[in-house]
Amino acid sequence: MTLTTTGRRPVDTDLVANLYRQLLAALGEDPQREGLRETPERVARWWAEFLDHVPGRTDTVFAQDLSADGEQLVVVRGISTWSLCEHHLLPMQLDLTIGYVPGEQVLGLSKFARIAQAHAHRLQLQERIVEGIAADVAKATGAADVGVVAEGEHLCMSMRGVRAEQARTLSIRLRGRFDGAGSLGQHLLAIARPPR
């Protein structure tokens, strides 16, 4: 049996398409009408594209020139990604800010987005995404000082149930010197959420 990079079986697109045909019929629709005839296959392909996503290399690092005076803070913000709430199978859109204090090596900038995508392309919780990104950045860089801030809009909250369309969920994971009494964590939060 082939497994994906997340350790689960790949999406069975034939089975998913069949299930969507059944769902359409259960919803009172005719799966054979013109607008819906190919919908089950399109949706099945989307599930495979989303869940079987391979982010590429996420661990490319470069040696840092240690001749610079002082300590650097590297922050990448404006990373936007989509995921799916595992409780309702509805989308969530996340805006991420990731920061760390590099040691002897720095992470390639595109790898921040790749790490975020690797965690988002699953049935997920926002809190788990933030924790996973922090762990992977720390692992790739060897840095103990890592912070991740995610602000998310969850369609399971804005388009169903309470329908709180303006609600945003903020999740924060601070490690090392980002956590605690120092100003590093506050600095990251200020960068992540500039005044509006």
Return the residue matching tokens 């204090």.
Answer: 101
Band (pLDDT 50/70/90 cuts) for residue 70 is low
What residue numbers bound the domain in which 177 lies? 61-192
Q: State the virtual CA torsion across 75, 80, 81, 82 in degrees, nearest 10.
A: 140
- With respect to residue 163, please indicate whether it lies within any of the assigned structural domains: yes
What's the pLDDT at 63? 86
Count how many domains the chain has.
2
Token output for 145: 């000082």
**DSSP 3-state percent helix, strand, coil across the chain (nearest 5):** 35, 25, 40
What's the pLDDT at 8? 82
Band (pLDDT 50/70/90 cuts) for residue 41 is very high
Cα 181 to Cα 25: distance, rounded to the nearest angstrom: 58
Regarding whether 71 and 34 lie in a shared domain, the answer is no
- Indicate whether 18 pLDDT > 60: yes
Return the CATH number at 101: 3.30.1130.10
What's the pLDDT at 6? 67
Cβ–Cβ < 8 Å for 58, 114? yes
What's the pLDDT at 103? 86
Regarding whether 94 and 68 lie in a shared domain, the answer is yes
What is the residue-averaged pLDDT of the chain? Answer: 91
Closest CA to 112 of 99, 101, 127, 129: 99
Regarding whether 125 and 80 lie in a shared domain, the answer is yes
- With respect to residue 133, please indicate whether it lies within any of the assigned structural domains: yes
Regarding whether 44 and 70 lie in a shared domain, the answer is no
Q: What percent of the chain has pLDDT over 70?
A: 92
- With respect to residue 2, please indicate whether it lies within any of the assigned structural domains: no
The predicted model gives 8-30 an average pLDDT of 96
Model pTM score: 0.89
Regarding whether 116 and 21 lie in a shared domain, the answer is no
- Indicate whether 195 pLDDT > 70: no
Regarding whether 96 and 148 lie in a shared domain, the answer is yes
The predicted model gives 131-141 an average pLDDT of 96
Cα 78 to Cα 190: distance, rounded to the nearest angstrom: 14
- Indicate whether 128 pLDDT > 70: yes
Band (pLDDT 50/70/90 cuts) for residue 180 is confident
Q: In the 8-state DSSP scheme, what is residue 136?
A: H
Regarding whether 26 and 68 lie in a shared domain, the answer is no
- Indicate whether 66 pLDDT > 60: no
